[in-house]
Amino acid sequence: MMVLKIVAAVLAVLPIASASPAPSVPLNDLLSNPASFGFGSLSGAVKAQVEKLSGLDNCQCACSLLSILVPAKVSISTSPNYQDIPYWSVQQSEVTPACRIDVTRAEDISTTVKVSKLTQCPFAVKSGGHAAFAGGSSIQNGILINLAKLNEVTLSNDRKTTRVGPGNNWYDVYQVLDPLGVSVVGGREAGVGTGGLILGGGISYFAGRFGWACDNVRNYEVILADGRIVNASPTSYPDLYWALRGGSGVNFGLVSRFDLATFEQGLLWAGSRFYDFSHNASLAETFSKFVANAPTDDFAHLYIAFGYVAQLGGFVGVSGPAYGKPVADAPIFADLNKIPSLADATGFNNMSGLSAALNQTTFARQTFKTVTLKDDPALLKAIIKIFTEEASTVLDVPGLLPFFAFQPLSTNIISKMSKNGGNALGLSVVDGPLTIMNLNWGWTNAADDTRVFDTINRFISRSFDLAKSMGLDHDFIYMNYASQDQDVYAGYGKANVDRLKAVQKKYDPQGVFENLQPGYFKL
């Protein structure tokens, strides 16, 4: 039988650890009472293979069980035929799982969670793999749940909802929706995965009209800690639905499908402009004015960024205006249009083209970091000066490409976050308008990690200390731009954190996701 061949192949490549299974894996109990572990009745062939498992540690046992229960979907990392899957950052690729399961349906994820609980083998989940630190969606010696084949993109007959699998990146989604003349509130970069962006919040070109991506999910299909598959919406498991809107999936359940609110959408006007660094003050003033005035035009979006590119002669400025209609240079961009640019790549495009144009080059090594500030042009200009001072100390680092950006969190965006019961982020219109500052630095060698991280930390500390001294600091930390050492949930406010913990306790009373899914941000 095919199952016997698969298990034989698995056992052939797994290193032998001892003469008997690890004592913490109750295989005999599984055979005698599979229902107590959430499994249905086991066939005779399956039982025969389970009985043969011996000499395996917990994760070897887990991988063997998965090969029996979900045949043809499991790859063992020690096999000569094992193929690594790509990640955006090298740090994520530096760890190797014991095995990978390429799931094709929610039931496969459910089985994997049950096997992880039974064997106490930890796991990680990969959607787009766009985290910047090892373990974000990768794992050493555990189970890697690869969502890539959960790649459905299906528009409903009434054109109001799109079913999206978490294995898609945003380019995949837009490639389906653009020809249909519709869109969803999603990411701006092609290679970012749908899962991480939505569950962490989700900045979008359409945020002024609809809020963030997490505010436009009609329903989540979720695998709970006990293996049940449920649908969370405003009317079904509403507490879980609220928690998933910005609270991340790693604390509550694993999302196997998003049902996204969908709207009619044709071409946009958008793109990038590049500037001589002498215009940095004008860019800061223009952005600050835009964030304050954004509620006058919900179709407009703007970010600005600054970085060092040796090929362009040093420090440069970038702007990213976008308008949700095919209207060039809308009046809200009047001040931006007065700033002379070195190059202008704005124009009419669809979301597929825009996301591909903005997609970032893969660096050897990556890091993120973020803080949130109250809107003030003097603060932004001072932070740009701090950036040049700190980045200049490490320009000799091979492959260094240091950039940071100011992203809009205007009051019209925040106001849209309250629909359908609100999200978990803890933001209020009275706090705004706000600016999210995010760093994205790339470099080549691990030997330079300490220098780069120290420089980034000084830059962030100096900037945030200055904001505090000016009364312009804010506690919010945007998860999708956060570094591993940042306390994301502290910025959500105590009341929301307490509510999130209550939801976590209700749906995962044994701490399965807390203890067995070690990566990413935990409550």
Summarize pLDDT for 95-125 with one digit per residue, the tens: 899 999 999 999 999 999 999 999 999 999 9
> Which amino acid type is present at position 467?
A
At 55 the pLDDT is 87
How does pLDDT run across 53-70, given as a tens digit for each residue?
Answer: 988 999 999 999 999 999
User: What are residue 71's phi and psi, to 5 degrees?
Assistant: -65, 150
Tokens 């698969």 -> residue: 6
- Across the range 262-285, mean pLDDT stands at 98
Which residues are within 8 A (CB) of 223 and not within 5 positions of it... i.e. 6 or more apart? 106, 109, 110, 113, 229, 253, 254, 255, 256
At 362 the pLDDT is 65
At 312 the pLDDT is 87
Q: Strand (E) positions, 147-197? A: 153-155, 161-164, 182-184
**And the tokens for 308?**
């060092």
* Confidence check: pLDDT of 14 > 60: no
Q: In what order do the strands lie in the sheet with 123-126?
A: 74-76, 99-102, 143-146, 123-126
What is residue 160's three-state secondary structure? Answer: coil
Tokens 């219109």 -> residue: 429
At 72 the pLDDT is 92
The overall average pLDDT reported for the chain is: 93
How far apart are the C-alpha atoms of 202 and 164, rounded to whole Å?
A: 15
How far apart are the C-alpha atoms of 161 and 155, rounded to whole Å?
A: 6
How far apart are the C-alpha atoms of 466 and 481, rounded to whole Å?
A: 21
* Confidence check: pLDDT of 5 > 90: no
* Confidence check: pLDDT of 391 > 80: yes
How far apart are the C-alpha atoms of 244 and 234, rounded to whole Å?
A: 12
Q: Quick one: pLDDT band at residue 361, thresholds 50, 70, 90?
A: low
CA distances to 76, 139, 306, 521 from 134, in Å: 20, 8, 26, 12
* Confidence check: pLDDT of 28 > 50: yes
Is-above-0.85 flag for pTM? Answer: yes
How does pLDDT run across 412-462, given as a tens digit for each residue?
Answer: 999 999 999 999 999 999 999 999 999 999 999 999 999 999 999 999 999
CA distances to 20, 26, 54, 259, 480 from 29, in Å: 15, 5, 15, 38, 41
How far apart are the C-alpha atoms of 424 and 135, rounded to whole Å?
A: 24
At 519 the pLDDT is 82
How does pLDDT run across 198-235, given as a tens digit for each residue?
Answer: 999 999 999 999 999 999 999 999 999 999 999 999 99
At 363 the pLDDT is 62
* Confidence check: pLDDT of 145 > 60: yes
Q: Quick one: pLDDT band at residue 151, thresholds 50, 70, 90?
A: very high
* Confidence check: pLDDT of 19 > 50: no
* Confidence check: pLDDT of 127 > 80: yes
More confident residue, 16 or 30: 30
* Confidence check: pLDDT of 20 > 50: no
* Confidence check: pLDDT of 11 > 60: no
* Confidence check: pLDDT of 128 > 90: no
* Confidence check: pLDDT of 4 > 70: no
Q: Which of 465, 440, 294, 301 is nearest to 375 (CA)?
A: 294
Q: Which of 148, 124, 147 is nearest to 135 (CA)?
A: 124
At 13 the pLDDT is 36
How far apart are the C-alpha atoms of 407 and 372, rounded to whole Å?
A: 9
